[in-house]
Amino acid sequence: MDFSYSPDQLDLKRRAAEYTALLMEYEDESEQAGGPLPAETVRALTRKAMEYGVYGINMPAEWGGAGLSLLDQVIVEEEFGKATNCLWDIPWRPSNVLAYGTPAQREKYLLPILRGERFDAFAVTEPGAGSDPSSGTSTATRVARGWLLNGEKWFVTCGDVADFLLVQADAGPDRLATIFLVEKDTPGVEMKRVPHFMHTSVNGHPEFTFTDVFVADEDVLGDVGQGYELTKEWFTDERLMIAARTVGAAERALSLARDWAVERHQFGAPIASFQLIQAMLADSAVDIAINRAYTHQVAWEADNDTDRKTLHAKASIAKLSASEAASRVIDRSLQIHGGRGYDRANPVERLYREVRVDRIWEGTSEIQRLIIANELTKRGTRVLQLG
């Protein structure tokens, strides 16, 4: 087993890093604007992502995606994570489960995304159903040629810019969890509120209500009753990408802290010469190295047909460990910067706010621990083994 990057992967990392540097040029503008960038800027950055080959990285090349393996995607997302203001949302990554759509669904929903013409958003969370999606109350009632969808969804990431939503709802009297493809301009769909969260994000996380929204049979993704399976697969990939991005965020913070510690003088010496500062830098390097290695390992295993149930737990380990480690690294980095680190003009301050949600969305740290413990109790320490 060789984890050294191939020449193609080195080139991919270079391209992702160069594109991320371009995104970074818009960090201050996004921060001052409270998140959104002008539509023309987003279109230009979208075109650039396509030119760099880092757009639609999770979809096959024959459909117009970048055709990357999961390990390749982790390499790219790690670079993206270094940009603040969630600017990594601009080089769009379609919901992975759209790949399971029918040929007609692919033409209608997925291919336009890969051309940069449309955007999607996944709607699972509800006011009373966060960590436990099975407690959702959204329903789909059978009618002629389709379904009537009723319910409410919260924290729909990128829902403000999306053209359509993947909505999980319980279908029929047996309440079979199902994913419905819902155009946002369908009568009965209403975007109620876009919360202002702790972090500044280029796209929002709005709340939606669905009132007797008609969804045709041909807009059911997969089979009726396949909703949990599809959502679980979406979660697995998203958690692994969160792990990759938080590793990247931590690395940027450590790089900034290291440079500051070398340049900043107090008591007649650079603060990098003080042992307490050295300890923080060293601990941060360890946190990053360990989590990068494990995230890469899990992605490699996924590309080599690891059992999906075990992979689900391993992605939880990666997400849990990397997101919590990044919080530690960025906290130390801010502390090393002192008062300057508390200034919103400093990327470390923005990273400090942004990384906090990574311990909440796509499953809280506590839920990740339950998933890992459940795998251990059912299958033993297999989750710790390679392959």
Buried b (16+ CB within 10 A) or exposed e, 108-134: bbbbbbbebebbbbbbbbbeebbeebe
Residue boundaries of the structural domains of the chain: 7-93, 120-223, 228-384
Task: Name the phi and psi angles at 272, rounded to 5.
Answer: -65, -15
Overall CATH class of domain 7-93: mainly alpha
78: Cα separation from own chain's centroid = 11
Identify any residues that bridge with 265 across adjacent strands, giving them in sequence order: 270
Tokens of 230: 């599809």
pLDDT at 385: 87
Cβ pair 79, 20 in contact under 8 A: yes
Could you give the CA distance from residue 328 to residue 360 in angstroms, rounded to a whole number?
15
Which DSSP helix (H) or strand (E) runs through 365?
Answer: helix 365-379
Amino acid at site 149? L
Strand 164-171 with 139-143, pairing: parallel
Which DSSP helix (H) or strand (E) runs through 260?
Answer: helix 227-263
Burial of 330 from C-beta contacts in 10 A (0-12 / 13-18 / 19+): buried
User: Token match 């913070």: residue?
Assistant: 253
Could you give the CA distance from residue 356 to residue 340 in angstroms, rounded to a whole number?
20
Tally of CA atoms within 13 A in the half-sphere of 26 that contains its CB: 24
For the chain of 387 residues, list the mean pLDDT of each consecutive stretch of 10.
90 98 98 96 98 98 97 98 98 98 98 98 92 85 98 97 98 97 98 95 97 98 96 95 98 98 98 98 98 97 87 96 98 98 97 98 96 94 85
Least Cα distance to 87 among 24, 158, 161 occurs for 24
Q: 205: which residues sit within 8 A by CB, 6+ positions away?
A: 155, 156, 157, 158, 159, 194, 195, 197
CATH no. for 120-223: 2.40.110.10
Indicate which residues carry an active-site annotation: 362
Topology (CATH) of 228-384: Butyryl-CoA Dehydrogenase, subunit A; domain 3 (1.20.140)
**Measured in Å, how far apart are the chain's first and last C-alpha atoms?**
11
Could you give the CA distance from residue 182 to residue 164 in angstroms, rounded to a whole number?
5
Least Cα distance to 165 among 123, 105, 131 occurs for 123
